Structure 1
Amino acid sequence: MDSPHVAFRLERGVTGFRDRRDPPVPRTDPKACRAAWYAASRAARGRVEDFAEREYPQNFHSATISNRDGPHIALFHAHYPLIAFVGDRQYWYTDEFQAPPAWAPALSDFGFAVLGATQLLSPLAESDASALSAAEWRQIKHWRPATLGAALFNSWD
């Protein structure tokens, strides 16, 4: 029996934006991201090529592991423990998300949720965005991300 479709819930602050009266946006510790990435490299039987902490206005860190299957690039969300895989390094992402490699579940052992391409490429309108703040809605109306992934992993300023 198929399970019913459950909408992805966008938590307050997931876009990286807030009004100055809103509570601070949570942070994902880059050290925790790095530790998970090095553990994943062992599971992948590969080596860490790099880990780049976010640069404003990006709301994600990026990292690469290379193994016999080639390079694997991940985006670590800077505010929530979410990870997406992409084919190339870019300044921002809209529809470039890929399926996670077979070894990606090793990242879950560190408390990260590895998001699949189907989920990231789903229309933002199908997500539960009820927890987002007014400041986040203003950004969404301005930038008009079509997909969940484009809203989660952004470089809006």
Structure 2
Amino acid sequence: MRGTHLYRTACLLTGGDKHLAEDLVQETLGRMFAKWGKRDRIQNPAGYAQTVLVNTFIANRRRKSNAERPTAEFHELAARGTDQDLRLTLLAALARLDTRDRAVLVLRYWEDQSVEETARLLGLSISAVKSRSLRALARLREQLGPDFLASPES
């Protein structure tokens, strides 16, 4: 089921806010349901759902009426068998990034999308995706330290 995949992506986009992630997935599926009968045939429903999810996230962040405020504390428990401190550190660092930069990183490195596919999903140019990726990774390294995101081979 793609719902779990959408939920995980939404969690990363929202910086670990599971409740907002659930809302985003629900709104995404609602929008897809509303369009489903009106479109002749969606050739790639999973890709379309991902596009709707990212666009919903970005639109949600733009709303000035959003009264929710982030908190420095994260009370939800990570799944067993994972490094909780690492997960919380990465989620906090992602949450401090610009909305579009976060979306680029999630799509490129979590979803393993190509630069071209990420550009298409976000409505950006390929060069904008490349520059945002470099800038966002540099900001993460700045926040986390240069050795934190180093590849294991180096």
When normalised by structure 2's length, the TM-score is 0.29
When normalised by structure 1's length, the TM-score is 0.28
Answer 1 or 2: which has greater strand percent.
1
Answer 1 or 2: which has greater helix percent.
2
